[in-house]
Amino acid sequence: MIVALSAFLAAGVRLGVPLVLAALGEMVSERAGVLNIGLEGSIIAGALGSVLGAMATGSPALGILIGAAAGLLVGLAFAVPVVWLNTDQIITGTAVTLLGLGGTAAVYTARFGATGAQLDVPQLDRLRIPVLADIPVIGPALFDVAPTVYLTFALAPLLGWFLFRTEWGLEVRAVGEDPDAAAAAGLPVRRLRFGAALFGTLLAGLAGAHLALAYAGTFTENMSAGRGFIAIAVVVLGRWRPWGVLVAGLFFGAADALQYLLQTLGWDIGYQLFLALPYILTLAALGGWIGRARAPAALGLPWPRTH
Amino acid sequence: MRSFPVRLVAPGFLLALGLSACGESESACRDLSEAPFCVALLTAGPVSDAGWYAGAYEGLLQIEQRWGAQISHQQTRTASEYDEAFLAYGTEGYDLVFAHGSEYQDAAIRAGERFPETTFIVSGGGRIADNVVPLIFTLENGSYLAGMAAGGMTESGVVGMVGGVRIPPAEGVFLAFEAGVKAVRPDAEVLETWIGTWDDVAAAKEAVTSHISRGADVVVHNTDGASFGVFNAVREAADAGDPTWAIGMNRDQNDIAPEVTLGSAVIRIEDAFVEITEAWRDSEIGGAAYYAGGESEVVDFVANPAVMDRIPADLLARIDSMRTAIRSGDFDPPRVPFIEGEEGYEETGAGAGGG
């Protein structure tokens, strides 16, 4: 029982962390008023970038950084038109998702052949924290994991401090709530939005890099498998707050882990219900049935408004 | 949870196809006088899976080489694109269209009515018309033999099966595999998990990890690109001192992780494509399902040569004699009926999925 619970928790953390990473980035972006549904494109670019980077340099750590940079690069294709040219955020985000999925497929097949191959990729090894990793049940799940997982856990309080305790954080939130007032107060609205959106894609790239080098251990086409879209739901369920996003992402991961556990145990019915559960809660959060979930007032709106 | 994003992506995926398509000519087929005929391939996933789709792409290339045919490949993403893709090839006058997966079967029937001059071949399909032909591989035969290998090699008595989307042809493959396991090891426990996608390599790895933690020491898959996650998980378990075997599916995948792979249940898809093309040129197909290979070797279980010394000789001999029995028709592994008119077939109206 203890063993099964421990394995379940570890699986939940493994499945949840890529969502949390991407969702934390999306949260910052949305706080500044930029809804990036092109996240998926940055994640898949991060995955391919990290694999190519790790293979070229022989270092998984450098691979992770290169993956994050690849996510940022694809993010530029979203943030530049959206922030500086006032293009529609939804349409641009859709295009960037397609660009990411199609572009990575093209690069991958050009580099590794049309019919695919197992790649010999240096993996990002787990970093075991002595003593803490020996705690029963939660130890292996939380303290014997890849460095990128610790980074994810550290990011939640860091971003909380940034958004709610610093001047910059206040400015980011201001341009997401009322860009006109922020501009009147002398804030560089577009530069703040640009920075927040790019930070979001950097974390999405990191999520992809983690997925490839610390989790799956390889790259395959479409391996992001919709996580960019799930991350957007995680932001909503987490109510645009760092701790909320952390808990919501891990909850999505736990629901996923639970359905694997139930299938493995041979329960033939109803595991799809556990997959649906986080979405039902997300809808409830949106509908205001669990607490107050209000999106930033200027989310998705271009600035300056053209009439 | 994984079909929702796909739907969001749907409206403009052709744009991405433009980026990822394999560079075949876009020109109207009829304008090319030197090509004897034109062949197209539709896949619902990337052909870089070293498996189900890769084999089909290989088959397309062989048809080009052998007959000098004009070829084209398109990857479709959603059901709404199936009709579009058929329409495009039908309009351009393609003679033969391979739709590689049962998910295409309903759209193929519609396309068949609209383009009577074109022959549509649906791999693993269940619906039939004069110019719509299901290409049936009976992978169950290879899968049953693979199951015997798993049953003979498992020490824990627990064997895992990780599948993509739960569709009748895929269920049949696992049904036969499980029967094969139990033929050799009647008390074996066989675990079954469906990840709901063909490409999610992390999900496949998670499912295998879950099986291994329940004691499984042989794991078979039936996915596409996600299979790399299966091999990685097995390799990691073996590296951690937990002897574990993987079994490949759809294509000879023995060299993906040679040190931990027991063997592969293979379909020589490329041979089947060439074979059915030949039959089509001789006007021998239409109005019925086409069974690839018959008693030849289109479907097989191929033990991994790299680990042959670790497989007991009597197990190999047992598999060999079963292979002979299956090919001669003395033994039929269990299967899930999914072809129109076949015994036990039930009209369900469901027609989703692939592999």
B83 touching A, CB under 8 A?
no
| ipTM reported for the complex, 2 dp | 0.87
Domains of chain B: residue spans and CATH: 3-138+270-291 (3.40.50.2300), 140-266+299-327 (3.40.50.2300)
* Residue A259: exposure state from Cβ atoms within 10 A (0-12, 13-18, ≥19): buried
Is A293's pLDDT higher than 50? Answer: yes
**Which residues in B138-151 are b (16+ Cβ under 10 Å) and which e?**
bbbbbbbbbbbbbb
CA distance B214 to B162: 14
Structural domain including A97 reads 2-116+152-287
How much is the pLDDT for B348?
Answer: 54
Summarised one tens digit per residue, pLDDT across range A216-274 is 999 999 999 999 999 999 999 999 999 999 999 999 999 888 888 888 888 766 667 77
Domain annotation covers residue A301? no
pLDDT of residue B302: 96
Residues B212-232 pLDDT 10s: 999 999 999 999 999 999 999
Residue at token pair 């895929």:
B170
pLDDT tops 50 at residue A122: yes
CA distance A15 to A141: 11
What are φ and ψ of residue B125, in 5° steps? -75, 165
A5 at B interface, C-beta within 8 A: no
Could you report the per-residue pLDDT of A82-115, keeping only the tens digit for each?
999 999 999 999 999 999 999 999 999 999 988 8
Half-sphere exposure at residue A277, Cβ-oriented, CA atoms within 13 angstroms: 17
Q: Are B331 and B325 in contact (CB under 8 A)?
A: yes
Interatomic CA distance for residues A122 and B201, integer angstroms: 17
A229, B8: Cβ pair inside 8 Å?
yes
The answer to whether residue B256 neighbours chain A at the CB level (below 8 Å) is: yes
In the predicted structure, residue A24 carries a pLDDT above the cut 90: yes
User: Model pTM?
Assistant: 0.86
- How many Å lie between the alpha carbon of A183 and the closest alpha carbon of chain B? 34
Range scoring the smallest mean pLDDT among A54-68, A83-97, B336-350: B336-350
Distance, first Cα to last Cα, chain A: 62
Would you call A215 an interface residue with chain B, using a CB distance cutoff of 8 Å? yes
Average model confidence (pLDDT) across chain A? 92
**Residue in the block written with tokens 């994991």:** A145
* Yes or no, beta carbons of B225 and A95 under 8 Å apart: no
If you average pLDDT over residues A68-72, what whole number do you get? 98
- Best mutation site among A35, A98, A215 for testing chain B: the one with the most B CBs within 10 Å? A98
Digit-coded pLDDT (tens) for B93-119: 999 999 999 999 999 999 999 999 999
Q: Bin B294: left if φ > 0, else alpha if -120 < ψ < 50, else beta.
A: left
Q: Which of residues 223-252 of B touch A (CB under 8 A)?
A: 225-226, 228-229, 231-232, 236
Backbone angles phi, psi at B191, to 5 degrees: -90, 150
Per-chain mean pLDDT for chain B? 87
- How far away is chain B from the Cα of A282, in angstroms, using its nearest Cα? 13
| DSSP β-bridge partners for residue B220 | B161, B247
Q: Nearest-CA residue of chain B relative to A275?
A: B1
Radius of gyration of chain B (CA): 20
Whether residue B91 contacts residue B266, with contact meaning beta carbons closer than 8 Å, is answered with no
State the pairing for strand pair B119-123/B132-136.
parallel
The larger pLDDT score, comparing residue B156 to residue A267, is at B156
Residue B197 contacts A where some CB pair is shorter than 8 Å: yes
| Alpha helix positions (H), A210-241 | 227-237
Residue A266: per-residue pLDDT: 82
Into how many domains does chain A fold?
A: 1
B249 three-class SS:
strand
Shortest alpha-carbon distance between residue B325 and chain A (Å): 32
User: Chain B window 209-228: which residues touch A at a Cβ cutoff of 8 Å?
Assistant: 209-211, 213-214, 225-226, 228
Residue B353's pLDDT band (cuts 50, 70, 90): very low
- Stretch B125-135: mean pLDDT: 95
C-alpha to C-alpha distance for B232 and B219, rounded to whole angstroms: 12
Closest residue of B to A255, CA-based? B1
Looking at CA atoms only, how far is residue A172 from chain B in angstroms?
A: 28
In this complex, is the C-beta atom of A211 within 8 Å of any C-beta atom belonging to chain B?
A: yes
Report the pLDDT value the prediction gives residue B265, as an integer from 0 to 100. 96
Chain A residue numbers touching B207 (CB-CB < 8 A): 260, 263-264
Q: Are A9 and A137 in contact (CB under 8 A)?
A: yes
Residue A260 lies in a domain: yes
Selected for mutation to probe chain B from A115, A144, A258 (highest B CB count within 10 Å) is A115
> Which residue type is seen at B133?
V
- Weakest mean pLDDT among A202-211, A298-307, B68-77, B78-87: A298-307
Please report where in the chains the tokens 């996240």 appear, as a residue. A39
| Beta carbons within 8 Å of B309's beta carbon, 6+ residues apart | none
Q: Flag whether pLDDT at B33 surpasses 70.
A: no
Q: How many Cβ atoms are within 10 Å of B171's Cβ, its own excluded?
A: 18
Single-letter amino acid code for the residue at A254: A
**Residues on chain A touching B225 (C-beta within 8 angstroms):** 116, 220-223
Cα–Cα distances in Å, from A269 out to A259, A262, A274, B244? 10, 9, 11, 29
| DSSP 3-state of B123 | strand
Report CA B120 to chain centroid distance, whole Å.
18
pLDDT at B19: 39
Residue type, B46: P
pLDDT at B8: 36
Percent residues over pLDDT 70 in chain A: 97
Spatial contact of A227 and A17, defined as CB atoms under 8 Å apart? no
CA distance linking residue A164 with residue A170, whole number of Å? 6
| Substitution target from B6, B13, B20, B162 for chain A, most A beta carbons within 10 A | B20
pLDDT tier at B295, thresholds 50, 70, 90: low
The residue length of chain B stands at 355
Tell whether A144 is covered by a domain: no
Q: What are the chain B neighbours of A97 within 8 Å (beta carbons)?
A: 9
**CA separation, residue A156 to residues A153, A245, B341 (Å):** 6, 8, 59
Q: Where are the beta strands (DSSP E) in chain A?
A: 127-128, 144-145
Residue B70: φ, ψ to 5°: -80, 125
CATH number (domain holding residue A66): 1.10.3470
With cut-offs at 50, 70 and 90, classify the pLDDT of residue A7: confident
Please report the number of interchain residue pairs, chain A to chain B, with beta-carbon separation below 8 angstroms: 167
CA distance B105 to B325: 32
Q: Contact at 8 Å (CB) between B44 and A124?
A: no
CA distances from A298 to A91, A172, A295, B227, B318 (A): 17, 12, 8, 43, 70
Nearest one of B39, B21, B42 to B29, comparing CA atoms = B39
Q: What is the pLDDT of residue B27?
A: 43
Residue A216 has its nearest CB partner, among B15, B20, B229, at B229
> Would you give the DSSP letter of residue B71?
E
pLDDT at position A269 is 64
pLDDT band, residue B168 (cuts 50/70/90): confident
On the question of pLDDT at B16 being above 60, the answer is no
User: Cβ(B250)–Cβ(B137) under 8 Å?
Assistant: no
Q: Which two tokens stand for residue B182?
A: 């139990």
Instruction: Dig out the tokens for A45 from the structure.
Output: 């670019």
Residue of A nearest to B194 (CA): A263
Instruction: Report CB contact under 8 Å: B193, A263.
Output: yes
Side-chain half-sphere exposure of B286, counting CA atoms within 13 A: 13
Position A130 in a domain: no
* Amino acid letter for position B67: W
A127 in a domain, yes or no? no
Whether residue A216 lies inside any domain: the answer is yes
Which among A138, A150, A183, A134 has a CA at the least distance from the CA of A17? A150
Please say whether the beta carbons of B244 and B231 come within 8 A.
no
Cα separation, B344 vs B186, whole angstroms: 26
Report the C-alpha gap between A35 and A94 in whole angstroms: 11
Contacts of B232 in chain A (CB under 8 A): 216-218
**A123 part of a folded domain:** no
* B337 touches A at CB < 8 Å: no
Q: Encode pLDDT of A131-180 as tens digits.
A: 999 998 899 899 999 999 999 999 999 999 999 999 999 999 999 999 99
Residue B32: pLDDT band (50, 70, 90) is low
Nearest one of B79, B132, B78 to B109, comparing CA atoms:
B132
Inter-residue contact B215 to B182 (CB < 8 Å): no
- If you measure CA to CA, which chain B residue comes closest to A226? B5
Q: Distance from A186 to chain B by nearest Cα, in Å? A: 38
Any domain includes A165: yes
Give the pLDDT score at B347: 62
For helices A2-31 and A167-177, angle between their N-to-C axes, nearest 10 degrees: 70
